Amino acid sequence: MEKAPTVLVVGAGVIGLACAFRIAREGRRVILVDRAEPGRATSFGNAGHIATEQVFPLASPEVIRGSLGYLLDRDSPLRIHPRYAFNIAPWLLRFAWAARGASFERGTAAIVSLMRTARDDLRDLLWVAEASDQFHEDGHLVLVERAESVLAAKAEVWRMRSHGVKAAWRSAGDVQGLVPELAAPIEGAWHFSGTGHVEDPYAVCQAFEGGFRKAGGEVVQGEVMDIETTADGIVARMASGNSLEANQLVLSAGAWSKPLAARLGHRVPLDTERGYHITMPQAFPTFRLPVASFERKVIMTPMSVGLRMTGTVEFGGLTLPPDPNRFTSLQRHLKALVPSLPTHDASTWMGHRPSLPDHLPVLGRVPDGRPIFLAFGHQHLGLTLAGVTARVVADLVMDRKTDIDLAPFSPLRFR
């Protein structure tokens, strides 16, 4: 009997874990390798929001028009770390180019193509991983706090509706019934349906890891420094001096994918948007759906680990330390919105969202036909798109036709 091909998956965040789990269930021998423990890097601290309403790339005409004010404001939800301004400049030029009208529309269509099944794919994968209790489909609220913001919020929702997003306006009184702890005065809120959240993003990663191991998968902790293709297959050279050999490879190392993609012949303008969170382990509010603020650009998610608030985008690379002002800003927003909730023993965290200037992931087989598959650059949507990405990658690995046009996600788009 012919031996099943070995698949090496590089990167054990939620994307890599989901891909490895799904491929292992196809009967392939799968080795999953990462420099950190599975799920302990960027995927550990995300908002837990299943953001199927986010169909528009961040690279948009609206963001470009308002970006100067954002970037110069120290408390802005979109900021450049002063020590990283020179490094990020080429990326920002590409970002501005991707925000042009035609490019933005193409990017929207590409994201929509992934979002059509994203929620169902994630739900199904969690069911297979025996973690359905992690998944909630109650939607979420987006508060509108100021009267002058109502028209802008309404316009944004109407644009989303043209792409199948569902949302209904709730009065301030209705919102108070849904979120009794809310103290900030508001005009009302948009109640999105078709979205959801998970109880704990790290627990989701653990469930995928557990399912992967049950399916016969192997986990190796170590840093891949180089990848070579030979006549016999693929060789990954480790920092330890060891090597891993495989017949096929999936590169899903998130914000750390850039140098390895370059070794494979694809120089992609991947950078990182640093995300921050604070988690209150003693805060278990009565509201059980995520609550975001249109003006503040933050979201509060009730989890099994307490209440988590996330928000802000900071361009600061992979090595600079966290900016304490980002945590202070989140704490100020939390106090304004739900001051009655206990904040003692709160923990803080910063992670690195892997982002490309057009805010589309790199997804698909390498164009030269080698048995190498790319799945990185999911920016704010890693958890949301984990299920559909895993389905697409498994189809490609198994040489099945995928139902999604992958041309917009090719690494060649940056040439």
User: For the chain, what are the domain ranges?
Assistant: 6-414
The pLDDT score that the predictor gives to residue 73 is: 65
Q: Is 147 exposed, middle or buried (0-12, 13-18, 19+ CB in 10 A)?
A: exposed
The partner residues of 248 in beta bridges, in order of sequence, read: 7
Question: What proportion of the chain, given as a percentage, has pLDDT over 70?
Answer: 97
User: What are the tokens at 130?
Assistant: 């025996």
Rounded to the nearest integer, the mean pLDDT of the chain is: 94
The pLDDT score that the predictor gives to residue 34 is: 97
Given a cut of 60, whether residue 1 has pLDDT beyond it is no
In angstroms, what is the C-alpha Rg of the chain? 21
Q: 179: helix, coil or strand? A: coil
The pTM score is 0.96
Given a cut of 60, whether residue 10 has pLDDT beyond it is yes
Q: What would the mean pLDDT of 23-42 be, rounded to a whole number?
A: 96
Given a cut of 70, whether residue 74 has pLDDT beyond it is no
Q: Note the pLDDT tens digit of each residue in 185-239.
A: 999 999 999 999 999 999 999 999 999 999 999 999 999 999 999 888 999 999 9
Question: What proportion of the chain, given as a percentage, has pLDDT over 90?
Answer: 90
DSSP label at 5?
P
The partner residues of 175 in beta bridges, in order of sequence, read: none
Given a cut of 90, whether residue 82 has pLDDT beyond it is no
User: What are the tokens at 187?
Assistant: 């005009």
The Cα 274–Cα 379 span in angstroms is: 10
The Cα 146–Cα 151 span in angstroms is: 10
Q: How many residues does the chain have?
A: 415
User: What are the tokens at 294?
Assistant: 């249109």
Given a cut of 80, whether residue 76 has pLDDT beyond it is no
The pLDDT score that the predictor gives to residue 123 is: 98
Specify the CATH architecture of the domain 6-414. 3-Layer(bba) Sandwich (3.50)
Helix (H) or strand (E) holding 125: helix 101-128
